Structure 1
Amino acid sequence: MARIIVVGAGSAGCVVAARLSQHPGHEVVVLEGGPDHAGTDVGTQLASANWIDAMGATAAFDPDLLATRLASDTPRQYHRGRGLGGSGAVNAMLALPGLPRDYDRWAEVYGLDAWSWSAVEPTFRSLKRDLVATPRSGYTPMDNALVDAAAELGLPSDVDTHTPYDGGGTLWRHADHAGRRSSLETYLTPARDRDNLVVRTDSRVDRLLVEDGRVTGVLLTDGSSLHADQVVLSAGTIETPAILLRSGCDRPGVGKGLQDHPAASILLALKPGHQEVRAKESCINAVLRLSSQVAEGDIHILPMQGALSVSSPQHHAVVMAAVMTVTSTGEVRLDPDRPTGPPVIAERMLTTERDRAVMREAVGHAVRLLDTQAFRDIVEEAFIDADGTPVSALADPEAYERWLAGSVGDYFHAVGTARMGAADDPGAVVDQRGRVHGMAGVRVIDCSVMPEVPAANTHLPAVMLAERMSSALLADLASGVANAPLASHQGAPRVPSL
């Protein structure tokens, strides 16, 4: 049958490898640039259901990967998971599908009729069976305060967050009582005893091997090469375009269109009796979804029980305000001094007036929440930086702008750097099945193909996409058209519904 190389063992790559290797006739080789953390102290931290433990596992991140968040920003560390599981091994385990309008916009604006809400919803419905929702009895003080504050403000406080409705409610998670249940645990680990699946760690890909417009394998950074009938790039929104650029892919959209959710945090010193961080239990279990004056459902307010940084006075919790429908775009490009090293990431968040206006609304909602009785009962002091500047300072527009410029972060939900679209769309890199325009024998299956970031944490959308594109690849392999030049098989069946 086919020898297939899957580059990257993250949220999407683990799904691809597991699905392809279900068919004994295919030989699947997974190349992961980072290590296997299983059986190490880092692995123990990553297994915890508490995201704070994962963020403390510094060895699971690439310390040399930097990014600028705003157009005038200085580079800061960019947190992407490194090792088996990828960013799915270090995320907050929150599972949301996004809004129906996200996917309908993909279809309407970008011509991606196979990715409308009606096309993707059955897969999301199937994936929901494996998700967990924390019962109210498992809420932290911050979770309780958030949903109670929503009720105080006249908003629903018990919405199913898998639906598109505004209000507060319990988050679905890809975790269980034993801890993290991302793509590594759910897909790749159960498949690793298959004879036709080989997983190689510490194997970073430099570029694709290309002969006469056909990809025949990959060249690793150690100088070795591997040949295959099909290569699947699942290296993620940052590394996938870097590999394509190093491979001579001449699509002008490669590396462009980068999007993420901008977020701003307010630090909270909690009153005694409400400060506990429960070991190995989720620190985020609820969300408040709100609509701005621009669009529906485009703001998230998240509560986190615990601290990721040091401040004076000490804080015990964080309220995060995020813009979930984004119009600003950035790019990923190669470092001319180190083309095989970490790429240059310029997110350019909040460059559009729309995004800036919604960010201001989101922060305003977070401040108003803190003035409810639910939060006053547990919060002793609210401040906006490590020096304890009171949240009241945000009432001054100039102070707000200074604060935002120095503190805005991303949600680690990068998409869009090798987006889907038609061959005559200059911004498109792949078609609806993930096939790279102008290059046979290679597909991209990861968040880089999403044309816009959905209003959701991107792990679950990545799994949905990987399920559907893996099914499409298997169908093409079965029909014998998987490695034909793209123009010769435009009539292949559309991405199947699962």
Structure 2
Amino acid sequence: MARSFDYIIVGAGSAGCVLANRLSANGRYSVCLLEAGPTDRYLWLHIPIGYSKTMFHPVYNWRFKTEPEPNMHGRALYWPRGRTLGGSSSINGLIYVRGQRHDYDHWSALGNHGWSWPECLHYFRRLEHNELGASATRGMEGPLWASTIKQRHELVDAFISAANKIGMRTVDDFNSGDQEGVGYYQLTTRKGWRCSSAVAYLKPARRRPNLHVETSALAAKILFEGTRATGIRYLKHGQTAEIHANKEVLLAAGALQSPQLLQVSGVGPAQLLRDFGIPVVADRPGVGENLQDHLQVRLIYEVARPISTNNLLHSWRGRAQMGLQWALFREGPLAVGINQGGMFCRALPDEAKTPDVQFHFSTLSADAAGGEVHAFPGCTYSICQLRPESRGVLRLRTTDMRDAPSLQPNYLSTDLDRRTTIAGVRFARRVAAAEPMAALMKREIRPGADAQTDDELLQFCREYGQTIFHPSGTAKMGVANDPLAVVDERLRVYGTRGLRVIDCSIMPTLVSGNTNVPVVMIAEKASDMILADADTEPAA
């Protein structure tokens, strides 16, 4: 039976939960939130270190894979994406980072009015409860917590001190707009628990009578009357259902599934759609183009003393200690996740005016993020280029949303990307060789002492590089005369009515850092725009 709501939100992830809260808050509008995955009742979705338990989970993770990557030795790379309430904010590494002032000023300079740093800062402050306290750039009244790491770790302290020795300043706040420096990250945790967007935004709103949340409901197609989006057809437990949108359909399914749903529904490159027999609603060549991601390269070191998290995880005493710390005090390794130390630096200082590389320093080591930790004491220096030039593409494989799209990120396809990544590896080695870090590093496991030339380091990056989980840009925001723009500055899909995209897809260029908090900001800003337009947009 068809049902009707003012707003239909597709995807209960970082953006969707924000929209569900804000659009239902005044009680004037009915809102339906569709989520393809189950509810977030699994305990490890809420314990910060549970990141390792959900990285490959068949229920709570979409477990996408790219096409074989020509610049990565032909490897098909694993791309995890959250599949539950909270989406990827329920399974991510918890790092609280906004990006740089320049990122947003650049969006504005491209013609996207209203998206400069000062204009976005209002929403960054609105969304957060920052344990560092309120300031000109920090907020204290928002639902999403930015928590400080209270228990220091000897390895992280040594990492910070070693970076100081080579000229990096210590900072306690990476989010003032500048970033440059080294320190402990803030995390999206609250009193030892993960603070996902489902916890921060959706949970407080669930009892509102005008908000309906439908889980295990996979959006199969956007319904159109002419060029106006009028509803969603979705699949649940093998059955098909339809719901009608009186005002707007809002896509918040992420940078992979929002463009896939657009293409399946007839919005995308016309020839691609015709090849699949899909009637063209709007010829938008940019849908699925402009795919960007941060490539992660992980240097692994054996630690000279048994002080790493590896040691705790391989000892029953250590595991018991961690469990008690968390159970009694909500502290210890279980409360802070994997990565604690951070750094933003200029690996190519003669070319980069702002930091071009980000570090995630971890007190454990494994062959892959979320994998089995090594038997020896270990730590990981993870580096990624912040503003890659490489651009990829997303395309349909079939017209069925149950089938994953084709993903071709084209990592390391430009000279700047290759040089920056190699320089980042060399910068990590400089930190590892500086005291007091040097005294704690027994040996470099990967890439290993034999890899010294640029060609050898590039081969290491190609062989071991992986995603750091930030796919973006596949339905980019841009001006009307940009042939690849998919949405305008109010996130409305060009060539349609009653349809917006509100997630990582809309980023014209990737932000300099982790993407979760920027997406929450985008949704906060979008909710204001939607509500402002509500009385002027004619009903369907």
The two structures share one fold, judged by TM-score above 0.5: yes
Cα distance, 1:165–1:377 mapped onto 2, change above 3 Å: same
The residue type equivalent to 1:233 in the other structure is L
- RMSD of the alignment, in Å? 2.1
Instruction: Name 1:488's counterpart in structure 2.
Output: none
**Which of 20, 28, 41 pairs up with 2:23?**
20
Distance apart, 1:331 and its partner CA: 1.3
Instruction: Name 1:260's counterpart in structure 2.
Output: 293
1:208 equivalent in alignment to 2:222: yes
Distance apart, 1:145 and its partner CA: 2.0
Distance 1:64 1:50 in 2: 19
Cα distance, 1:426–1:315 mapped onto 2, change above 3 Å: farther
Give a deviation string over 1:451-485, Cα, whole Å, max 9, x none.
011102111100110000011001111x222668x
Distance apart, 1:247 and its partner CA: 0.7
> 1:170-249 maps to which residues of 2 (within 5 A)?
170-221=184-235, 222-229=239-246, 230-249=248-267
1:328 equivalent in alignment to 2:382: no
Aligned residues: 472
Q: Which runs of 5+ in 2 are unaligned?
A: 131-144, 268-282, 313-331
> 1:25-424 maps to which residues of 2 (within 5 A)?
25-38=28-41, 43-50=42-49, 52-56=51-55, 58-62=57-61, 65-68=64-67, 70-72=69-71, 73-108=74-109, 110-130=110-130, 131-135=145-149, 137-163=150-176, 164-221=178-235, 222-229=239-246, 230-249=248-267, 250-276=283-309, 277=312, 278-282=332-336, 283-291=338-346, 292-293=348-349, 294-295=351-352, 296-307=354-365, 308-310=370-372, 314=376, 316-336=378-398, 340-384=402-446, 391-424=448-481
Distance apart, 1:65 and its partner CA: 1.7
Distance apart, 1:139 and its partner CA: 2.3
Instruction: Name 1:468's counterpart in structure 2.
Output: 525
Shifted more, 162-171 versus 345-354: the winner is 162-171
Give a deviation string over 1:377-398, Cα, whole Å, max 9, x none.
32222211xxxxx621220334
Cα distance, 1:317–1:145 mapped onto 2, change above 3 Å: same
Distance apart, 1:328 and its partner CA: 1.1
Distance apart, 1:69 and its partner CA: 7.6
Identical aligned pairs, as a percentage? 30
Task: Give SS of 1:302's match.
Answer: strand
Give a deviation string over 1:288-307, Cα, whole Å, max 9, x none.
11012322111112211223
Cα distance, 1:169–1:51 mapped onto 2, change above 3 Å: farther
Shifted more, 314-323 versus 295-304: the winner is 314-323
Give a deviation string over 1:301-327, Cα, whole Å, max 9, x none.
221122333477645321101101121
Using structure 2 for the length normalisation, give the TM-score: 0.83
Distance 1:356 1:18 in 2: 42
Cα distance, 1:329–1:11 mapped onto 2, change above 3 Å: same
Distance apart, 1:60 and its partner CA: 5.0
Give a deviation string over 1:245-267, Cα, whole Å, max 9, x none.
00111200000111111110011
Distance apart, 1:122 and its partner CA: 1.7
Instruction: Name 1:440's counterpart in structure 2.
Output: 497
| Aligned residues of 2:32 and 2:214 also touching (Cα < 8 A) | yes
Distance apart, 1:409 and its partner CA: 1.1
Cα distance, 1:311–1:281 mapped onto 2, change above 3 Å: closer
Task: Give SS of 1:59's match.
Answer: coil
The residue type equivalent to 1:423 in the other structure is A
Distance 1:471 1:92 in 2: 28
Task: Give SS of 1:468's match.
Answer: helix
Distance 1:311 1:403 in 2: 20
Distance apart, 1:447 and its partner CA: 1.0
The residue type equivalent to 1:170 in the other structure is Y
Distance apart, 1:121 and its partner CA: 1.4
The residue type equivalent to 1:12 in the other structure is A
Give a deviation string over 1:219-273, Cα, whole Å, max 9, x none.
1144321111221000000000000000111200000111111110011222334
> 1:448-463 maps to which residues of 2 (within 5 A)?
448-463=505-520
Distance apart, 1:402 and its partner CA: 2.3
Shifted more, 185-194 versus 72-81: the winner is 72-81
Give a deviation string over 1:430-456, Cα, whole Å, max 9, x none.
111111111111111111011011102
Task: Give SS of 1:185's match.
Answer: helix
Give a deviation string over 1:400-420, Cα, whole Å, max 9, x none.
232211111111111100111
Distance 1:446 1:482 in 2: 24
Distance 2:59 2:440 in 1: 34
| Aligned residues of 1:148 and 1:374 also touching (Cα < 8 A) | yes
| Aligned residues of 1:234 and 1:446 also touching (Cα < 8 A) | yes
| Aligned residues of 1:4 and 1:29 also touching (Cα < 8 A) | yes
Task: Give SS of 2:403's match.
Answer: coil
The residue type equivalent to 1:417 in the other structure is T
Cα distance, 1:25–1:339 mapped onto 2, change above 3 Å: closer
Distance apart, 1:54 and its partner CA: 4.6
Distance apart, 1:154 and its partner CA: 2.5
Shifted more, 337-346 versus 171-180: the winner is 337-346
| Aligned residues of 1:418 and 1:448 also touching (Cα < 8 A) | yes
Cα distance, 1:148–1:55 mapped onto 2, change above 3 Å: farther
Distance 1:375 1:69 in 2: 37
Task: Give SS of 2:23's match.
Answer: helix
Distance 1:443 1:141 in 2: 47
The residue type equivalent to 1:304 in the other structure is S
The residue type equivalent to 2:173 in the other structure is D
| Aligned residues of 1:69 and 1:347 also touching (Cα < 8 A) | no
Cα distance, 1:195–1:441 mapped onto 2, change above 3 Å: same
Distance 1:209 1:470 in 2: 22
Distance apart, 1:45 and its partner CA: 1.0
Task: Give SS of 2:105's match.
Answer: helix
Distance apart, 1:88 and its partner CA: 0.6
Cα distance, 1:177–1:159 mapped onto 2, change above 3 Å: closer
Distance 1:398 1:104 in 2: 35
Cα distance, 1:457–1:471 mapped onto 2, change above 3 Å: same
| Aligned residues of 2:343 and 2:360 also touching (Cα < 8 A) | yes
Distance 1:57 1:66 in 2: 12
The residue type equivalent to 1:252 in the other structure is P
